[in-house]
Amino acid sequence: MTSHRTTSQARRVAGGFTLIELLVVISIIALLIGILLPALGAARESARRSVCLGHLRGLGQAVAAYVTDHANHLPGPNTSGWHQWRTNSYRSQTANEPVQSWDWISPTLGDAIGFSDNPVQRYKDIFETEFKCPSNDVFYDGQYAGGNLGVNATELPMSSYTSPIGFQGGSGAGGTFHLPWPITSALFEIPNTGSKLDAMGPPSIKMWAMDGSRYVAPSGVITFDSLIDGNVQGGNFMTRGPAVATRASSGSPHRVDANGELVPGSIRTGFRHRERMNGVFLDGHADSFNNDAARPPEFYFPSGSKIRSPSFFVADVKSGDILK
């Protein structure tokens, strides 16, 4: 009997794992997880970046359709947002009217996607529906100026896409621009471009839209513009663009530090795809850019624009340079 129990116990021991063997197996599994998780995360982000690029291509097509239907004019504060810019009180009543003077998304996509006719709900449609970038998980931290838009910004995801303010005109001085680009009555006619597509220059090098949001403070705080006419730096829908994003240019979602490296706020907003930014050009093609490749100033301003303040530009430019 004693011999039989000893044999059974030996079989149980022989058929199982020792503590050391279990620890080795667990260590191997942990090692494999450590190796595979970053690759899995990269694959997921690649998929999200592809979806975002698809959104931007759709925006490019929508802007092309708008231009065709509006005598070659691009949407913006001097065209589709004219009434709001002039009065700061006109509330849009249809899906394809801008919710703010700088809103170029509603005029181009409002009917196609089925945005609400109610301007407050339309803000939610723009920022929350399928139009939202899948890598955008940031919410606004607060509001700038009064609350006449009727939107609670802290309940809204950050806007996913922005457009360069430079295509809407420069300063009032003969169409050239300096910073901070005062928007004066002279700009309402935009003597240098007339807000027309064919006056912007080669469409293959003019980026109409890109990843990014409104004002991002150096601390990383992101604010929402609650004025109907929109702050002169682009409201919630336009920014200066990645070319103008040095430390001298506070508030940029594409900002770099003194060494030209992305600051944390830029990685959360304008370069949210693992430090890459997606963009679509006026000829309809979309691409993804790293920090260096996103900086050419000719991407974000009409041909013939003149640089007056080089310290604001990330690229190596000089005062008086004329952009191609």
Task: Identify any residues that bridge with 163 across adjacent strands, giving them in sequence order.
Answer: 238
Question: Which position has the token pair 């809103």?
Answer: 103
Quick one: pLDDT at residue 187? 28
Quick one: pLDDT at residue 81? 87
Quick one: pLDDT at residue 287? 97
Q: What is the mean pLDDT of each run of 10 residues along the chain (324 residues)?
A: 50 65 83 72 85 95 95 89 80 92 94 92 87 92 83 90 83 37 34 78 97 91 90 87 85 94 94 97 97 95 82 86 85
Q: What is the DSSP letter of 31?
A: H
Question: Which position has the token pair 């998780």?
Answer: 37
Non-local CB neighbours of 32 within 8 Å, separated by 6+ positions: none
Quick one: pLDDT at residue 82? 83
pTM equals 0.83
CA-CA distance, 105 to 121, in Å (whole number)? 14
Is the bond preceding 203 in cis, omega lying within 30 degrees of 0? no
Quick one: pLDDT at residue 14? 53
Q: Do residues 128 and 156 make contact, with C-beta atoms less than 8 angstroms apart?
A: yes
Q: Do residues 115 and 95 make contact, with C-beta atoms less than 8 angstroms apart?
A: yes
Quick one: pLDDT at residue 39? 62
Tokens for 225? 């513009």
Q: Do residues 210 and 277 make contact, with C-beta atoms less than 8 angstroms apart?
A: yes
Task: Identify any residues that bridge with 279 across adjacent strands, giving them in sequence order.
Answer: 210, 287
Tokens for 203? 């469409």
Return left, alpha or beta for 66; rule: phi > 0 is left, psi -120 to 50 is alpha, else beta.
alpha
Detail the DSSP E strand segments found in the chain: 142-144, 161-164, 207-211, 223-225, 238-239, 277-281, 286-289
Quick one: pLDDT at residue 43? 79
